[in-house]
Amino acid sequence: MDIVFASRHDKHPEEWVRALQQALPDHSVRLWMEGAASAGTAQAAVVWAPPQALFEQEPHLRYLFNLGAGVDALLQLPGLPAELSIVRLEDGGMADQMAEYALYHLLREARGFGQYADQQRQARWHRMSPMLREDWPVGILGSGRIGSRVAQVFAALDYPVAVWSRQGLPVAGAEVFSGPEGLPAFLARTRVLINVLPLTPATQGILCQDTFEALKPDAFLVNMARGAHLIESDLLAALESGRLRGAALDAFIHEPLPASHPFWAHPRIQVTPHVAGMSLLGQTVRQIAGKIQALARGEAISGVVDRAQQY
Ligand code: GLV
């Protein structure tokens, strides 16, 4: 297969091209560049935020391998051919990192590590009451590769864990809720709400006032998915009213988050620059190469995006 690599954000695209070529010796892998004279013969592209020109200059593309799990931005690209198969990254080393990210924030809140850090600055020796896991039920929005790994990590530490998803597929160690009808009961038992949903018209704005109101008191939000899941003004109001105790946010509507944005300086919001789960080169290349080899053998592959569901 003739394969091109086209990522607008990657600083070292040649490393990806080299690793993909090494993993796929029977195929040809090259760096695609906008405007460069191109053979127009590529059948597959490995991409992150590719320019629209890719589809104009490569009319024979059949497969688009996304270097991330979320395909929301890709699906909005003008000129995206309807017959193209889009393949999302399944885990690719992200799920473990995201479980760690969520665990860090839960422990910081539940064990009072943030408060102890403040106390240290005041040389204050003050022991808070021990934490009980049953007081910190964790609820995960999304139960795919990432959500189920996050659930597994919390369940292994004996936190009460629930997941909510569209389909309600079983997840070991977690109580499962599904569909709009299952959301109120899921939220009512949740104190730490962790979002790893794909961004679709059905999930956009799901982190809103109604959702915050339905959670257990003194709840904490971790958003590791997309900025557009969150209604920003509702979060600020929920923190102001004390409905939420705090939030850890890794994804934003506008990235980089503008310097003037109120989230940066908010004492109860912790901002990170979209790093909760980063696709790791080795695992990502192995996965994509495995799928290209399977396709070349005429086999079906997993992770193909359902255009109707938009993930
Ligand atoms: C990152 O945000 C991804 O979608 O993988």
225 Cβ inside 6 Å of ligand 1 = no
Q: Which of 88, 108, 166, 226 is catalytic?
A: 226
pLDDT for the residue 203: 98
The arithmetic mean of pLDDT across residues 36-42, rounded, is: 82
Judge whether residue 34 has pLDDT over 90: no
**Start-end of H helices in 252-298:** 262-265, 281-296
Q: Atom 1 in ligand 1: which residue has the minimum CA distance? A: 68
Look up 297 and say whether it is catalytic. no
Structural domains of the chain sorted by starting position, each given as residue range(s) with its CATH number in brackets: 2-92+279-296 (3.40.50.720), 94-271 (3.40.50.720)
- What pTM was computed for the model? 0.96
Give yes or no for residue 144 CB within 6 A of ligand 1: no
* Helices and strands, number each (H, E), in the chain: 11, 12
> Which DSSP string corresponds to 130-180?
PP-GGG--EEEE--SHHHHHHHHHHHHTT--EEEEESS----TTSEEEEHH
Mean pLDDT along residues 100-112: 98
Point out the catalytic residue in the list 18, 243, 274, 286.
274
What pLDDT sits at residue 210?
Answer: 98
Which residue among 72, 94, 203 has the greatest number of ligand 1 atoms within 8 angstroms of its CB, and so is best to mutate? 94
d(CA 176, CA 80): 35
Share the mean pLDDT of the chain. 96
CB of 67 shorter than 6 A to ligand 1 = no
**Cis ω on the peptide bond leading into residue 256 (within 30° of 0)?**
yes
Confidence grade of residue 35 (pLDDT, cut at 50, 70, 90): confident
Q: For 2-21, what is the mean pLDDT?
A: 92
pLDDT band at 116 (very low <50, low <70, confident <90, very high): very high
CA 99–ligand 1 middle distance (angstroms): 14
Q: How many of the other CB atoms lie within 10 Å of CB of 104?
A: 15
